[in-house]
Structure 1
Amino acid sequence: MAAGASRFMPPPGRQRTLSRRRAAIESYFHVLHALMLRDMRTRFGGSHVGYAIVVGWPVAHAFMLVGIYTFRHMPAPIGDSRVLFFSTGAITALIFQYISREVMKAVLLNRPLTYYPQVKLIDVILARIIVEIMTGFLALLLTMSIVAALGVNPFPANPVVAITGYLAAILLGIAVGVVNVGIVSFFPAWQIGYILFTLVLYLSSGVIFLPNFMPQQIYDILKWNPVVQVVEWVRTGYYPELAVQVDYAYTILWSLTALLLGLMLERFVVRKRTT
């Protein structure tokens, strides 16, 4: 019996190799977990209140738009609910905006950590990405809960379309954020410049209006903005009657190309400047 069982056991050399790989993976996850905890404690003041404010800000942003339209007695551009219209647009755009901005800031604030041999720059980036995805997910859940409490159905008519739209916004934010890491490594002023740039992207992304209601020439130009594409992507999940055609291939390829460019900058530019 023992002889039969031994045939299924890997040789001693392979056992040592597997053990080393398992130890390396566990060590990597420990480093990643420690970076995430440090990130949350330093950015949010080490308190639940600080983190709650960050989670609640996108929600407050969406409801501020609702308040402005309600005060001016303006209806939603589509549908019967101002809350649902602005929530679907604002949360999508802000998920992209926060991820792309905070990934850039992570490298600027946590660069001294890369002096430790266990910590690499890509680990800092990945830890910040995970924290921002969790924050965006909680903001989305909080928004849906408030919308439901107000008596509005927060669930999309086509959940697959809406969920993939949110995932596309996350991918776009990661891609642009990694590119920002490369840019800010040799042009630190881009940290301020990008804030102004995202303001332009936000105002033209269709959060507060429907781009397809614009003249066709202007709409064709706006469609080059991938943020417009992801906002329309999510909204078509909530409003199947919305007369838009999302260019899914363009949006995904744009994000993947930007991500590849950002990883190349991180590998061949940022690392050399930090060594």
Structure 2
Amino acid sequence: MSNSVQILRFRWFRPLRTITALMLREMSTTYGRSAAGYLWAIIEPVAALALLSIAFALFLRHPSLGTNFPLFYASGYLVFNLYMNVGNKVAQAVSFSKPLLEFPAVTPLDTILARFLLNYLTQLMVSVIIFGGIIAIYDLRLILDFPTIVLAYLAAGAFTLGIGTFNCYLFAAYPSYVQVWAILNRPMFLVSGIFFMFDIVPQPYRDILWFNPLIHLVGLLRSGIYATYDAPYVSLVYVMGVSGILFAVGLLMLNRHIRDAMNR
């Protein structure tokens, strides 16, 4: 029995050690060895939110929800920022760690999880700092629904992991797809609920937009931030279903065809 337990612990410890090593490598290459890299991860979304708030405040008396422009746009933009940054990092995991995949101890899933965990946790830190800063600076009296907020970020992480894993094989097998994906993603900034409320979109466009998982994630987060807002259109079953299918298909393609993709 003791030998079986030791073998089981070793099997769990080896991939954890590999993922930790890959995360440390990612930290040194992406964010550098100083705090400047992480500081830029905060400055970039803060600058974007400031521009959005100033631009729309010139034409609107108040945002579509609540009275604070930075809070409203942060509740949409930070979800989109997590989707874009973490999703692209995960999609490039195999290409980034291509030489290391020659070692039997490193698997495509290890590289995906390492990149996902590091960048997802970084975006969580950025969100906490920005939301906390907005609430403190404007002295907002909010009744936050923390379980709903946590659920929104967990669902956003699941969707980002799913879409990133699905694209991971395509990025490695077809390098030109990177540019195609960038072009396909450009409209997402405009149709993910950052600037508007899904509830006020007229038909039939509302039914079409419903199939965008980011609409559900933004709506769920806003229902946790704004006590008076309810988002009955949000479907976690849909978001998690799409996330699970994308993750499973992406992982299946990687396991079956990764060698062929890497040799192209």
**TM-score if structure 1 supplies the norm length?**
0.87
Q: Distance in 2 between matches of 1:237 and 1:124?
A: 33
Structure 2 equivalent of residue 128 of structure 1: 115
Q: Secondary structure at the match of 2:94?
A: helix
Structure 1 alignment gaps of length 5 or more:
1-13
Q: CA deviation at 1:129?
A: 0.5
Whether the 8 Å contact between 2:97 and 2:111 is mirrored in structure 1 is yes
Matched, 1:184 2:171: yes
The residue type equivalent to 2:194 in the other structure is V
Structure 2 equivalent of residue 59 of structure 1: 46
Kindly name which structure, 1 or 2, has the bigger radius of gyration based on alpha carbons.
Answer: 1
Structure 2 equivalent of residue 261 of structure 1: 249
Q: Distance in 1 between matches of 2:104 and 2:173?
A: 23
Q: Which runs of 4+ in 1 moved over 6 A?
A: none
Q: Secondary structure at the match of 2:193?
A: coil
Q: Distance in 2 between matches of 1:235 and 1:185?
A: 36
Matches within 5 A, 1:40-189: 40-153=27-140, 157-189=144-176
Matched, 1:26 2:19: no
Q: CA deviation at 1:252?
A: 1.7
Whether the 8 Å contact between 2:19 and 2:114 is mirrored in structure 1 is yes
Greater CA drift, 38-47 or 156-165: 156-165
Q: Distance in 2 between matches of 1:156 and 1:128?
A: 34
Q: Distance in 2 between matches of 1:200 and 1:73?
A: 23
Query: Does the C-alpha gap of structure 1 residues 128 and 55 become closer, same or farther in structure 2, counting only changes over 3 Å?
Result: farther
Q: Distance in 1 between matches of 2:156 and 2:259?
A: 27
Q: Distance in 1 between matches of 2:186 and 2:61?
A: 23
Q: CA deviation at 1:203?
A: 1.2
Residue by residue, what CA displacement relative to the aligned partner does 1:45-92 show, whole Å, maximum 9, x if unpaired? Answer: 332201221243233322321122234454211111112111111111
Q: Secondary structure at the match of 1:91?
A: helix
Q: CA deviation at 1:18?
A: 2.5
Structure 2 equivalent of residue 37 of structure 1: 24
Q: Distance in 2 between matches of 1:152 and 1:228?
A: 28
- Aligned-pair identity in percent equals 24
Residue by residue, what CA displacement relative to the aligned partner does 1:22-51 show, whole Å, maximum 9, x if unpaired? Answer: 234333322211110101111123322012
Matched, 1:199 2:186: yes
Structure 2 equivalent of residue 4 of structure 1: none
